[in-house]
Chains A and B, each alone.
Chain A
Amino acid sequence: MIGMIMFGAALVMLMLGFPVAFTFGGVALFFGIYAEGMDLFAFMPFRIMSVMQNTVLMAVPLFIFMGVVLQRTRLAEQLLTSMGRLFGGLPGGLAISTILVGALLAASTGVVGASVVAMGLISLPVMLAHKYDKRLATGTICASGTLGQIVPPSIILIILGDVLGLPVGDLFKAAVMPGVVLIGLYIAYILIMTRFKPETAPAMPKEDEGNSRGKEILDALLAIIPPLALIVVVLGSIFTGIATPTESSALGGVGAVVLAIIYRQFSFKMVWDASKDTVKVTAMVFAILIGATAFSMVFSYTGGDYLLEDWLMMLPGEQWGFIILAMLVILVLGFFIDFVEISFIIVPILAPVAESMGINMLWFAILIAMNLQTSFLTPPFGFSLFYLKGVAPPEVRTLDIYKGIIPFILLQILVLALIVIFPEWFGMSATY
């Protein structure tokens, strides 16, 4: 029960405004020492070491570096505003461009801290400069930055493959359709929403009144090519096997510097300043990871994992009731616990039950993955929200981000429901 009280305490303490990472760590410290004594924290160096040796997370600083360089050289702005111009007088063009760039980044990384922060750096300043509504802007960025969790390659799918004993390749293939549908719905939402509230996402102003529409499109396409080529190189290096997804982020960083040289934006000072920004944001992300690992350590060593297991034993034994309640449980837990804990504590309990009902485990895994990526976005503890807040200018408030994400959470729940009801639309079947 201590684990549950600890969540409440953390929530209250967070509201005081002390840095999130150290609030998690500090609250864990008090509850941990109270329940288990000081020596519980002898585990901390091991946990930090496992973050250090988790080379997949290396993508975080590397992608952030790429984002910072693209932002400092204004290449990101050029990419997004030109893409936005392609939409002509249509409002919401920047938001749609953001979603598309996010989808491309999602296909090259599966680490959420990397893509949300990179997307935040690349597109938040541009959207704010073009008078976008703060909520719409931050919601779009968080949602598209989190796409990396469902669009393969993705850490969630790899972990689920491990826990459920499913081949990773099958999971990757099965996740493509849901990812594409989600991206499509995000875009559709922007199009519909901006039709009714165009002031939240103003259309891009014409570059030059005298230019014909054709010339404008040509200009925009020419401006898009270099930064887009960079992202294509990053993706291409994965598909051709030149680099692993993690390594591809280094190609992105180096490539961004090369672009800067081509555009005569390069200086050693620029690289040094970009590196300073990268260190600062990377530290923010990893401090949260370390604070959260202390938190989940105290949670599980004080019996929180056993308590959850007991609760799960009460789920109904009939297929539809089981699926719906299991999804609800994961969704609600996702508000509070991080996805790795859910994958390792909850999924092993649900899996044998699902299997005994003859449920197709691949389908079940995709449902869980969709559900878990939502957990990055759900307030109060959605990590994507913290990460974006960490790079946002002070006038963007935590509450703006919390409110901005709600429509996207609803869209995700909608897709989840669609996969539950119409698995065949996504190339799957519910049972064997």
Chain B
Amino acid sequence: TQALAQERFTLRLAETWGPNFPIFGDTTKRFAENVEKMSDGRLRIRIDSANKHKAPLGVFDMVKAGQYDMGHSASYYWKGKVPETLFFTSMPFGMIATEQYAWFYHGGGMELMQEVYEPHNMLSFPGGNTGVQMGGWFRKEINSLEDLQGLKMRIPGFAGEVFAEVGVNPTNIAPGELYTALERNTIDAVEWVGPALDLRLGFQQIADYYYTGWHEPATELQFLINKDSWEELPADLQEIMRVAMRASAYDMLIQSQHANAEAWASIKEEYPNVQIKQFPDDVFDAMYAANKKLLDEAAAESDMAAKIIKSQEEYKEKSRAYTDISERAYLNTMAEVE
């Protein structure tokens, strides 16, 4: 058993991001570093970024087939393959980060997530959170639901479906052409991530209205692990992995908070043209109703989806009641005092 304990392992990890993509890429690097140190070098993680495997949205398939032992990505990217994977990233009008982490680790979320990934021979773990994502860059102010009608916006996935329901025209634009497309009014609005990552693309130079978020209140990335690779690891290394994934997820949440705060400060200082806006009430009401309708449709289509939606709704209600008398109450107090 002494020999067995000394056995060395290397896991190959494919991430959806490019080599030095900030925050997201730092998360996997920290994870790999922690694993190696905690295991005294017995377990190593070799990270391949998108430039190497060339398949940012093929991470699911590559980990499933065992071409990679692990992946770092976001669960909602697999919506087109396995619709139920949608719910483990962040949902419009859903839980905020603390609530959602509580749901994952104490409210049954993890069990549901494994149930969805199990048939595909994979395990999935929370892999870092961006916090509340911004609602997007708009070149015109949105004063009513009317202003959204026919608006061309780059907004993918489920949030795009919600927007489509209220009259927006979701539009595909290659990421490399986004800046030019927004600058020349080929499209009217762009949804990206948050200040830290948006700043790099330069949207603040060409759009004045930066809307607050509602569609991804707690975007959680994921670690994907091929089940066979996982089962080859001895129990102690599995535990090291679990701890390291949890720690790097937490690190990403606080790094996001920090980087966004820094980036927002610099946008405020260097681009006084940028104004923070919130959608008007009629827009929110319409989007809330549209979201509800789409969720009902998803629940009607799949029992598993119905189970997850129910679990999330119930948990959100319960934990939000407490958030209301704790964080929200405190922030309200602060708003009055300062």
User: Within 8 Å by CB, do A and B touch in the complex?
Assistant: yes
Q: Is A209 an interface position by the 8 A CB rule?
A: no
Given contacts A163-B20, A167-B205, contact A43 B186 (CB under 8 A): no
Q: Is B62 an interface position by the 8 A CB rule?
A: yes
> How far does the alpha carbon of A340 sit from the alpha carbon of B19 in the complex, in Å?
12
Q: Which residues of the other chain, A, contact B302 by a CB distance below 8 angstroms?
A: none
Q: Say what secondary structure dominates the interface of chain A.
A: helix
Could you tell me the distance in whole angstroms from the C-beta of B274 to the nearest C-beta in chain A? Answer: 14
B51 touches A345 (CB 8 A): yes
* Proximity string of chain B (55-95) to chain A, C-beta cutoff 8 Å, 1 when within and 0 when not: 11010011001010000000000000000000000000000
Could you tell me the distance in whole angstroms from the C-beta of B320 to the nearest C-beta in chain A? Answer: 36
* Proximity string of chain B (187-215) to chain A, C-beta cutoff 8 Å, 1 when within and 0 when not: 00000000000011110011000000000
Name the residue of chain A whose CB is nearest to the CB of B49: A344
B202 touches A170 (CB 8 A): yes
Name the residue of chain A whose CB is nearest to the CB of B18: A162
Binds B, one of A195-203, A213-221, A241-249: A241-249
Q: Is A47 an interface position by the 8 A CB rule?
A: yes
> How far does the alpha carbon of A239 sit from the alpha carbon of B184 in the complex, in Å?
6
Q: Is B326 an interface position by the 8 A CB rule?
A: no
Q: Which residues of the other chain, A, contact B202 by a CB distance below 8 angstroms?
A: 167-170
B183 touches A169 (CB 8 A): yes
Q: Using a Cβ–Cβ cut-off of 8 Å, how many residues does chain A contribute to the interface with B?
A: 43
B58 touches A344 (CB 8 A): no
B55 touches A47 (CB 8 A): yes
Task: Please tell me the size bucket of the interface on B.
Answer: 20 to 34
Given contacts A49-B55, A165-B200, contact A245 B183 (CB under 8 A): no
Q: Is B22 an interface position by the 8 A CB rule?
A: yes
B186 touches A49 (CB 8 A): no
> How far does the alpha carbon of A415 sit from the alpha carbon of B179 in the complex, in Å?
28
> How far does the alpha carbon of A163 sit from the alpha carbon of B206 in the complex, in Å?
21
A300 interface neighbour in B52, B177, B199, Cβ under 8 Å: B52
Name the residue of chain B whose CB is nearest to the CB of A56: B174
Name the residue of chain A whose CB is nearest to the CB of B65: A42
B177 interface neighbour in A49, A50, A169, A246, Cβ under 8 Å: A246
Q: Is A55 an interface position by the 8 A CB rule?
A: yes
Could you tell me the distance in whole angstroms from the C-beta of A154 to the nearest C-beta in chain B? Answer: 10
Name the residue of chain A whose CB is nearest to the CB of B20: A348
Q: Is A423 an interface position by the 8 A CB rule?
A: no
B67 touches A42 (CB 8 A): yes
Could you tell me the distance in whole angstroms from the C-beta of B240 to the nearest C-beta in chain A? Answer: 25
Name the residue of chain A whose CB is nearest to the CB of B172: A55
Q: Could you name 22 residue pairs across A and B whose Cβ atoms are closer than 8 Å?
A: A42-B65, A42-B67, A43-B54, A46-B55, A46-B61, A49-B55, A50-B55, A50-B58, A55-B174, A155-B176, A163-B19, A167-B179, A167-B199, A167-B205, A169-B205, A169-B206, A238-B180, A244-B186, A297-B54, A340-B51, A341-B51, A344-B49
